[in-house]
Structure 1
């Protein structure tokens, strides 16, 4: 069982997200993350779904997705060279004496502080899931007050 990243081009219609997510649920497949947004074509949206399964599972998911009327194209990005990124906003408890240490972590991960409060810092990090996970682990000892993650969005590399 491995992580699978699937890109789905769909008609931008009400209820499409619900039907796609429902298909996963009915089949007993868990969605680890899902992002949805506009695509390069007007009237179409792109969903990027990360799930866990084997090749057979992914094949079944793909066949079921194509049965949905609003699904235009399904691409398994996991088997191709791809770029995958996630955005995280992390509010960290940060009293003034701790700030230089926290800033060291932030700089190491090429993240940025986007807001400073009297007792906290709001950090923005962009990268692959492992990078975000590692940064969160290093910030936990300071006290994470709030965390929001987008989930993975991805695209094939190169001319494909």
Structure 2
């Protein structure tokens, strides 16, 4: 199963190297990785997606805490979160297919950030499912290049699980939250 870990670290050189070394020694592959400044100066947030069962991920979290400069590690997989990813995609856009590509971009609220006679670049931001969906639709055209960020996530203070809400709306059920 894919797990999402949120790790707060001190901004020190070598922190990411130690984390990736730990993963390599344990035979883990990091599926997605995003690093950026956190809310406090001198602190960074690392959001990563890794495969593993619950027990294995618990062991990995314990190992992360043993590393220098690790402040907090959370498995946010089962916690209601806002998750986002960014994708830039360059597509072969001829006069014949350009309007179809722009229609798809409009539906997914993607922005055209570059345009030439032969291609266009779209910027797509959204939850990982949205990114996969638009990429699949655009694959019928010639995708020239793709660059994707790793997933980033923050815990919802409202504690509302939007995935559960989507499921309940699809099943015509209503759940009340306390």
Q: Settle same-fold status: TM greater than 0.5.
A: yes
1:131 Cα offset (Å):
1.3
Q: Which residue does 2:106 correspond to in 1? A: 107
1:140 aligns with 2:139: yes
Q: CA deviation at 1:11?
A: 0.7
Give the corresponding residue for 1:152: 151
TM-score of the aligned structures, taking structure 1 as reference length: 0.96
- Alignment RMSD (CA, Å): 1.1
Name the counterpart of 1:63: 62
1:87-107 CA-to-partner distances (Å, cap 9, x unmatched) read 000000001221110011111
Q: 1:60-84: CA deviations, max 9, x gaps?
A: 1110000001100001111210111
User: For the structure 1 residues 137 and 159, does the alpha-carbon distance in structure 2 shift closer, same or farther, using more than 3 Å as the test?
Assistant: closer
CA distance in 2, matches of 1:129, 1:37: 18
Q: Cα deviations across residues 25-76 of structure 1 (Å, max 9, x unaligned)?
A: 1111111001001011111111001001111011011100000011000011
Q: Counting strand residues as a fraction of each chain, which structure ranks higher? A: 1
Aligned residues: 159
Indicate yes or no: 2:22 matched with 1:23.
Answer: yes
Aligned to 2:83, what secondary structure does the other structure show?
A: strand
Of 125-134 and 11-20, the range deviating more from structure 2: 125-134
Is 1:75 aligned with 2:77? no
TM-score with structure 2 length normalisation? 0.86
Q: Which runs of 5+ in 1 are unaligned?
A: none
Unaligned runs of 5+ in 2: 160-178
SS in 2 for 1:97: coil
